[in-house]
């Protein structure tokens, strides 16, 4: 097993926290929602400024240990809810006048380093991969779904070119023994893939990523979370998203660009075109990346991308085109029940 001790030191390293604070003009204070509390890196950085208040969410019950200290320290300015961000409207109502809603997407290093949870291919435990508040585990997926669906999961969410071979070998293997542990899955992947010595990433990376996204409905969560964020923000408020995965970034970019005042139009005479149909101020399509200092300290942050958008004063309407555009992902995740 690989030595993970060097990573442990970084488990509280919040990615691009200074950039997030800058985008939010933190000195002005305001009401924040931190949709992905994790180890509380963003929330504590925000609360260290006066005149800020934070409502924080995280779906993972394991992170409660990182919440109590913040609760003690910032009694009147901080509230935590152990829920998914797709349910944000259950704890924040439309009149709450939120200034900033922040998403730092994906899995945390703490979740990866807890080898019992099976997120890492270095684990020897069960392939579970549930972040929390969900019903089926990765092991359920491996043992219950047919070849066609497994193939689609690995291909669509992992961009895994050997998806079909992996899916077929999973189904062959589980006829002999149910697939319960990470080493069982890793050995099936190794058997199914040709070793490519030029490739820098581990043979299992893409399959593990795909399973995790599917098990946790990560694409549906993101789309639902973004839509609810647009509904809860006050005019002039900002949605800020840090993502690591190209599909997530595509979704964020599409939403910000196509629902902003300056969105590009197919044609002036486009029949559905409605001048009023926007939710955001002009979107500049600006991507912010980690600086050199952060990259030196925390190399895994290299694939992070920060995007933000400003809510305008138009009444909220449901952005149907967003769901339609990404229906391929939503339909596949819909099979996860
Ligand atoms: C990258 S970490 C966030 C780290 C945090 N910004 C910090 O500074 O410590 C992502 C967190 O988001 C949580 N998460 C992922 N998807 C979620 C969802 N749909 N709803 C709520 N929390 C989610 C994970 O459980 C994890 O703790």
Per-residue pLDDT tens digits for 185-244: 999 999 999 776 667 789 999 999 999 999 999 999 999 999 999 999 999 999 999 999
Which SS3 state, helix, strand or coil, does residue 132 take?
A: coil
- Residue range(s) defining the domain that contains residue 211: 113-215
User: What's the pTM value of the predicted model, to 2 decimals?
Assistant: 0.93
Residue 276 pLDDT exceeds 70: no
d(CA 10, CA 137): 27
Residue 127, in any domain of the structure: yes
Residue 103 pLDDT exceeds 60: yes
Note whether 190 and 61 are same-domain residues. Answer: no
Q: Which of 182, 215, 248 is the last residue of a domain?
A: 215
Residue 1, in any domain of the structure: no
Across the chain, mean pLDDT equals: 91
Note whether 92 and 188 are same-domain residues. Answer: no
- Give pLDDT tens digits for 41-57: 999 999 999 999 999 99
Residue-level pLDDT at 201: 84
221 Cβ inside 6 Å of ligand 1: yes
Residue 34, in any domain of the structure: yes
**What is the DSSP code (8-state) at residue 302?**
G
HEC readout, 170-207: HHHHHHHCCCCEHHHHHHHHHHHCCCCCCCCCCCCHHH
- Contact, 118 vs 128, CB < 8 A? yes
Residue-level pLDDT at 5: 42
66 Cβ inside 6 Å of ligand 1: no
Note whether 77 and 150 are same-domain residues. Answer: no
d(CA 249, CA 28): 28
Residue 266 pLDDT exceeds 70: no
Note whether 286 and 199 are same-domain residues. Answer: no
Note whether 312 and 277 are same-domain residues. Answer: yes
d(CA 83, CA 58): 6
Q: If residue 34 lies in a helix (H) or strand (E), which one and from where to where?
A: strand 30-34
77 Cβ inside 6 Å of ligand 1: no
Residue with tokens 């994790």: 38
Note whether 184 and 226 are same-domain residues. Answer: no
Note whether 96 and 170 are same-domain residues. Answer: no
Q: Which of 158, 185, 215 is the last residue of a domain?
A: 215
Residue 26, in any domain of the structure: yes
Nearest CA to ligand 1 atom 24: 107
Residue 7, in any domain of the structure: no
Residue with tokens 């820098």: 200
- Give pLDDT tens digits for 291-336: 999 999 888 889 999 999 999 999 999 999 999 999 999 999 999 8
> For residue 34, which atom of ligand 1 is closest to its CA?
6
Residue-level pLDDT at 49: 97
Residue-level pLDDT at 3: 41
**Residues ≥6 apart with Cβ < 8 Å to 302:** 290, 295
Residue-level pLDDT at 229: 97
d(CA 230, CA 252): 12
108 Cβ inside 6 Å of ligand 1: yes
Note whether 100 and 132 are same-domain residues. Answer: no
Note whether 189 and 230 are same-domain residues. Answer: no
CATH code of 172's domain = 1.10.150.170
Q: Which of 186, 215, 244 is the last residue of a domain?
A: 215
Note whether 84 and 210 are same-domain residues. Answer: no
Residue-level pLDDT at 151: 98
160 Cβ inside 6 Å of ligand 1: no
């Amino acid at each position: 097993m690989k030595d993970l001790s060097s990573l442990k030191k970084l488990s509280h390293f919040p990615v691009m926290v200074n950039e997030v604070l800058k985008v939010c003009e933190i000195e002005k204070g305001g009401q924040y929602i931190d949709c992905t509390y994790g180890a509380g890196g963003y929330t504590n950085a925000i609360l260290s400024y006066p005149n800020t208040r934070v409502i924080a969410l995280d779906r993972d019950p394991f992170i409660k240990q990182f919440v109590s200290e913040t609760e003690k320290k910032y009694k009147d300015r901080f509230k935590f809810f152990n829920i998914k961000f797709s349910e944000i409207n259950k704890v924040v109502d439309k009149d709450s006048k939120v200034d900033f809603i922040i998403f730092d997407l994906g899995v945390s290093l703490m979740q990866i380093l807890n080898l019992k949870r099976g997120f890492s291919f270095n684990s020897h435990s069960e392939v579970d991969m549930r972040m929390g508040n969900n019903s089926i585990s990765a092991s359920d997926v491996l043992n219950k779904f047919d070849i066609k669906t497994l193939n689609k999961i690995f291909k669509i969410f992992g961009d895994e070119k050997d998806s079909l071979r992996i899916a077929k070998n999973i189904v062959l293997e589980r006829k002999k023994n149910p697939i319960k542990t990470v080493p069982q899955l890793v050995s099936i992947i190794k058997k199914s893939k040709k070793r490519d010595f030029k490739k820098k990433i581990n043979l299992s990376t893409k399959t593990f990523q795909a399973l995790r996204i599917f098990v946790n409905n990560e694409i549906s969560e993101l789309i639902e979370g973004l839509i609810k964020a647009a509904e809860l923000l006050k005019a002039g408020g900002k949605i800020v998203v840090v993502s690591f995965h190209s599909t997530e970034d595509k979704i964020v970019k599409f939403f910000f660009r196509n629902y902003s005042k300056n969105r590009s139009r197919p044609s002036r005479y486009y029949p559905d075109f409605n001048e009023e149909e926007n939710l955001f101020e002009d979107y500049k399509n600006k991507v912010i990346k980690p600086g050199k200092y952060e990259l030196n300290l925390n190399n895994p942050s290299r694939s992070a991308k920060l995007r933000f958008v400003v809510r305008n004063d138009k009444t909220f309407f449901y952005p149907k085109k967003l769901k339609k555009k990404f229906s391929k992902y939503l339909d596949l995740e819909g099979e996860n029940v």
